[in-house]
């Protein structure tokens, strides 16, 4: 067997050197690791704009339509500008997905990758973009010569409005477009009965509400910055912010999953918070100024809240009883045998249904109980809440507790979104919570976050099942939430060495993200190999404030004392790929010309963002201040390598240049 040791680097102000030694009974291989500063200043981009006379295109104002921000692949950014596209159909026939080409010179200069097109209800449309020569355009800047091809949906003798958004500097490029055949059919004036009116450009700039407090609570060794945006021109006195902490907990591996979490506003004031299971979703109260971007600090303390499966029951009870809960009589304590306003199902009949109250409760003294006898006819049976008003496009938490007794199949909490006429919403009308219960179970929390469809006006909660057995419900919550996101994570180790280059070892099976904070500096790394085996070592590099820039990493040959060399160590930079949504099975019911965007929590423990995946050749990474870059070193022991065992450590010096 072979052992390869990375000795502890010694850092000086001017240079960085590290050493690698491979030791056996006879041969000892040594190598040096050198990092050079090769930073270069980048020149400014040159932008050009040109004028275009648009044929048969009028300019109109868009009116007070809410700003759409749930657009695809924002990558932490937002869209600061848009134009309205009003299409009037003067014919006696409806138009369904007909491609139409137009020019939008108002958006000139914006990144092509930031372009999005949606209906007034927020549903995104596929589009195509052609340059002045008719060639598909996917990168660079928008110009006045470009032609935007959009699919048109419009009833006979009616008008419809679309919006083209641009200017999100962080947005990723969309992966799919209108088909080439559809785009080729489009042309300005191709349909004389369609008239296009392009609105003036509208701009939205979010301002920072207040600077974030520089020093968090002294008891915090680890904390996350949570970004919350309010696109409304009105202040929000109190709202619930939902943030998923999975990203922060993954990038802070030393933090227990069930740590106590406290939230501070940018003014340093503590906010009411509610921990909702498995260290993932956290809700906290916030007051948001109009059209602002504000940062909160979520700090992890060492003392733990010992809840059930990571869920704190006191937090849940507080949220259930708060004004944020839209469900009346959520724990069924009010009312006699029919707790108002819940609607009781008809009892007896072919389903042999019994519906009532049970003293077996998760909260208070009562729970709802529904029993369908064995061998009875199964159907969707149970209680419902009546209609509860909701806002189109808003996000809601639906949660409750279930207990099953001899259930023959699964059960969950269900809800239906209805439009203003009381009919089911056109898409995404029926939702259900997870996990489900089956057979005999103790009390289980089942929940989900759901976005109200664009045409939704109300929601009706269904405490139902389609099986035999007994099902109990308690603690039902429905809350509107505003999404926040983890913008960055911080640790005490990061604060102590901000000016120096940090190098530490990470198991190759562990993913390292750009915001992963530094850990204990590497002292020695040993690797065991069999003959003809490859083995990887992953080191994470994090530049300080004084040594960022282009770097080169060189590994000198591994030589034994007798002069025999092992093959050169392979040095590779870990690259990142964009992941748009946590993996799961998704379905959507929209026409072919609409963008199919996944919605929901997903079935994995991941999140949308940049994920480390490819190993890219080259040993000259860019080291940005405060960003972590993982590097892989792959060592190979040939078939004929002499066996040996590590007997002592050799140490070389690593200097930064």
DSSP string, 263-303: EE-TTSPEEPEEEBSTTTEEEEEEEE-TTEEEEEEEEEEEE
| Band (191; pLDDT cuts 50, 70, 90) | low
Q: Are the CB atoms for 288 and 239 separated by under 8 Å? A: yes
Residue 390 within a domain: yes
The pLDDT assigned to 187 comes to: 56
Residue 90 within a domain: yes
State yes or no: pLDDT of 51 exceeds 60: no
| Band (498; pLDDT cuts 50, 70, 90) | low
| Band (608; pLDDT cuts 50, 70, 90) | confident
Q: What is the CATH number of the domain that holds 254?
A: 2.60.40.1180
Note whether 464 and 518 are same-domain residues: no
Last residue of a domain, one of 300, 321, 342: 321
Residue 648 within a domain: no
The pTM score is 0.77
How many folded domains does the chain comprise?
A: 4
How deeply is 478 buried, as exposed, middle or buried, from its count of CB atoms within 10 A (0-12, 13-18, 19+)? buried
Q: What is the CATH number of the domain that holds 473?
A: 2.60.120.260
Q: Which has more confidence, 168 or 194? A: 168
Residue 592 within a domain: yes
Note whether 310 and 250 are same-domain residues: yes
**H-run or E-run covering 180:** helix 180-185
Residue 215 within a domain: no
Share of the chain above pLDDT 90, in %: 45
Note whether 499 and 624 are same-domain residues: yes
Note whether 78 and 128 are same-domain residues: yes
- DSSP assignment of 200-223 equals PPEE---EESSPPPSS--TT-SEE
Q: Are the CB atoms for 578 and 172 separated by under 8 Å? A: yes
The stretch 376-397 carries a mean pLDDT of 89
**H-run or E-run covering 314:** helix 313-321
Residue count of the chain: 657
Residue 342 within a domain: no
Residue 395 within a domain: yes
* Helix, strand, or coil (residue 9): strand
Contacts of 175 (CB under 8 A, 6+ apart): none
Helix, strand, coil distribution of the chain in percent, nearest 5: 5, 45, 50
The pLDDT assigned to 57 comes to: 38
Last residue of a domain, one of 421, 454, 480: 480
Min mean pLDDT across 145-154, 281-290, 554-563 is at: 554-563
Note whether 198 and 116 are same-domain residues: yes
Last residue of a domain, one of 134, 168, 203: 203
How far apart, in whole angstroms, are the C-alpha atoms of residue 337 and residue 343?
A: 11
State yes or no: pLDDT of 600 exceeds 70: no
Note whether 235 and 159 are same-domain residues: no
Q: Which has more confidence, 63 or 21? A: 63
Residue 311 within a domain: yes
DSSP 359: S
Give the residue numbers spanning the domain of 475: 353-480
Note whether 113 and 35 are same-domain residues: no
CA atoms within 13 Å, Cβ hemisphere of 463: 33
The stretch 479-489 carries a mean pLDDT of 91
Residues 140-151 have pLDDT tens digits of 999 999 999 999
Note whether 616 and 497 are same-domain residues: yes
Note whether 442 and 501 are same-domain residues: no
């Amino acid at each position: 067997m072979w052992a390869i040791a990375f000795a502890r680097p010694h850092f000086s102000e001017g240079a960085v050197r590290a050493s690698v030694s491979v030791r056996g009974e006879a041969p000892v291989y040594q190598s040096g690791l050198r990092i050079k500063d090769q930073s270069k200043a980048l020149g400014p981009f040159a932008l050009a704009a040109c004028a275009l006379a648009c044929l048969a295109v009028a300019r109109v104002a868009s009116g007070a339509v809410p700003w759409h921000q749930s657009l695809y692949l924002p990558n932490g950014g937002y869209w600061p500008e848009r134009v309205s596209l009003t299409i009037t159909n003067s014919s006696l026939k409806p138009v369904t997905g007909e491609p139409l080409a137009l020019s939008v010179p108002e958006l000139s200069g914006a990144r092509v990758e930031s372009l999005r097109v949606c209906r007034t209800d927020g549903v995104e449309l596929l589009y195509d973009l052609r340059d002045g020569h008719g060639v598909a355009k996917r990168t660079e800047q928008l110009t006045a010569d470009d032609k935007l091809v959009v699919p048109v949906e419009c009833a006979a003798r009616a008008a419809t409005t679309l919006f083209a958004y641009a200017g999100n500097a962080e947005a990723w490029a969309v992966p799919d477009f209108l088909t080439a055949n559809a785009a080729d059919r489009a042309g300005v004036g191709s349909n004389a009965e369609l008239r296009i009116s392009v609105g003036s450009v509208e701009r939205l700039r979010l301002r920072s509400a207040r600077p974030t407090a520089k020093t968090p609570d002294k008891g915090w060794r680890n904390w996350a910055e949570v970004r919350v945006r309010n696109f409304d021109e009105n202040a929000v006195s109190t709202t619930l912010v939902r943030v998923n902490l999975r990203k922060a907990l993954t990038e802070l591996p030393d933090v227990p999953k069930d740590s106590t979490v406290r939230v501070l506003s940018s003014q340093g004031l503590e906010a009411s918070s509610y921990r909702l299971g498995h260290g993932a979703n956290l809700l906290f109260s916030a007051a948001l100024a109009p059209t602002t971007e504000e940062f909160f600090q979520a700090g992890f303390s060492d003392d733990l809240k010992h809840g059930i499966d990571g869920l704190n029951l006191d937090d849940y009870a507080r949220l259930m009883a708060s004004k944020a809960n839209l469900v009346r009589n959520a724990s069924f304590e009010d009312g006699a045998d029919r707790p108002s306003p819940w609607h009781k199902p008809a009892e007896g009949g072919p389903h042999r249904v019994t519906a009532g109250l049970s003293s077996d409760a998760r909260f208070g003294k009562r729970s709802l109980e529904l029993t369908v006898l064995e061998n009875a006819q199964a159907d969707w049976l149970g209680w419902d809440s009546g209609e509860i008003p909701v806002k189109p496009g808003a996000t809601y938490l639906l949660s409750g507790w279930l207990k099953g007794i001899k259930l023959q199949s699964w059960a969950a909490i269900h809800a239906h979104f209805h439009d203003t006429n009381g009919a089911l919403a056109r898409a995404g009308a029926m939702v259900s919570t997870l996990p489900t219960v089956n057979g005999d179970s103790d009390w289980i929390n089942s929940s989900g976050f759901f976005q109200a469809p664009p045409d939704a006006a109300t929601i009706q909660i269904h405490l139902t099942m389609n099986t035999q057995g007994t099902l109990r419900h308690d603690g039902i919550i429905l809350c509107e939430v505003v999404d926040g996101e983890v913008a960055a994570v911080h640790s005490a180790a990061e604060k102590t060495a901000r000016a120096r280059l940090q190098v530490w070892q990470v198991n190759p099976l562990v993913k390292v993200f750009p915001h992963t904070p530094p850990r204990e500096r590497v002292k020695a790394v040993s690797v065991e190999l069999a003959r003809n085996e490859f083995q990887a070592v992953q080191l994470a590099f994090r530049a300080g404030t004084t040594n960022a820039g282009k770097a080169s990493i060189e590994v000198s040959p591994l030589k034994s004392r007798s002069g025999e060399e092992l093959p050169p160590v392979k040095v590779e930079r870990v690259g990142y790929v964009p992941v748009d949504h946590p993996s799961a099975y998704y379905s959507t019911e929209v026409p072919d010309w609409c963008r199919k965007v996944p919605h929901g929590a997903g079935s994995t423990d991941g999140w949308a963002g940049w994920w480390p995946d490819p190993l890219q050749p080259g040993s000259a990474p860019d080291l940005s201040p405060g960003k972590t870059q993982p590097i892989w070193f792959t060592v190979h022991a040939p078939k004929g390598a002499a066996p040996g065992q590590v007997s002592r450590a050799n140490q070389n010096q690593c200097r930064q240049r």
